[in-house]
Amino acid sequence: MGLSVAIPAKNEERYIAGCLESVQGLADEVLVILDPETQDRTAAICREKGARLEVAPFVSFARLRNRALGLCQYNWVFFLDADERATEELRQEVRAVTAVEPDPNDSQAVVGYWIPRHNYFFGRPVRHAGWYPDHQLRLMWRERAHYPEEQKVHEVVRLQGKAGYLAGHLLHHNVDTPAEFRAKQRRYAHLEAASLWEKGVRARPRHLLTRPLREFWRRYISLAGWKDGLLGLYLCAAMGYYTFCTYRILLRRQRAGG
């Protein structure tokens, strides 16, 4: 039956070796979708580790994942990001569930699995503020999976069937420095604003104040970000600023006429 692991990557020489090692012996195929603008040793490391390389330009995360689904050789596909690691418990679960083929005549068959993810910021785990368990729908039967491409960021696959839950974790080494976090947020804010625009969402000037405050309150108070101490305060404030940037970009686009 087989399992493909698919990993999108761009300039990931810091992380890619650990990611590949975490699925060694699990997958029948490891496919790395490499951004053509990659300038570091990512490709060389992938070859050293025996991964198959395909080059695809970035348009959106959803399109990239759909491209990967089309390139994979096996029907069970497990998506990882280069800065993620599969734990041993997760590997054992993935082996077990992918040994079974979904019934093609059963529209209610389980054809995908949510996986809990531990996020690490600056080397420290974050347990609150919506960052844990941070379930990701990453294991799927590709013939019954598709990513809606109107969602530019925070994409979630659409399944023709049901999704189950695994207990083993992904470990996500999100960012190592505040500067890296800010750069990532700037990139995501542009993608988020584009996604909102295509959905018909429009911003008003007051949203530059109300939406960031609401996001900070949601993460810091409602989702108990305060329990993560100063790191939690920083991350919740940063997510408020991310929301501000998203709506500022959206408002500027409106004023420019789209």
Do 239 and 184 reside in the same domain of the chain?
yes
pLDDT at 63: 94
247 and 130 in a common domain: no
Q: Are residues 110 and 200 both part of a single domain?
A: no
pLDDT average per 10 residues of sequence, the chain (258 residues)? 95 97 96 97 97 94 95 98 98 97 93 98 96 97 94 87 98 92 93 92 96 98 98 97 97 88
Same domain, 144 and 198: no
Angle, alpha carbons 235-238-243 (nearest 5°): 130
86 and 192 belong to one structural domain: no
Question: Domain with 88 in it: what CATH number?
Answer: 3.90.550.10
Q: Given 143, 174, 205, which residue is the final one in a domain?
A: 174
Which pLDDT does position 154 carry in this prediction? 83
pLDDT for 125 equals 95
Q: Are residues 140 and 235 in the same domain?
A: no
How many independent structural domains does the chain possess? Answer: 2
pLDDT digits (tens, 9 = 90+) for 183-212: 999 999 999 999 899 889 999 999 999 999
Residue pair 251/203 in contact by the 8 Å Cβ criterion:
yes
Contact of 197 with 257, CB cutoff 8 Å: no
Q: What integer pLDDT is reported at residue 16 of this predicted model?
A: 98
pLDDT given at position 155: 86
Question: Do residues 133 and 246 both lie within one domain?
Answer: no
Choose the final residue of a domain: 126, 155, 174.
174
Q: CA gyration radius for the chain?
A: 19
pLDDT at residue 150 in the model? 81
> Do 136 and 188 fall into the same domain?
no
Number of other residues whose CB lies within 10 A of the CB of residue 235:
24
Domain boundaries, position 94: 3-174
Q: What is the pTM of this model?
A: 0.92
Do 47 and 33 share a domain, yes or no?
yes
Tell me, yes or no, whether 164 and 193 share the same domain.
no
Q: What are phi and psi of 236, to 5 degrees?
A: -65, -40
Pair 57, 165 in one domain? yes
User: Across the strands, what pairs with 137?
Assistant: 114
Domain boundary among 174, 208, 232: 174
* 69/167 same-domain check: yes
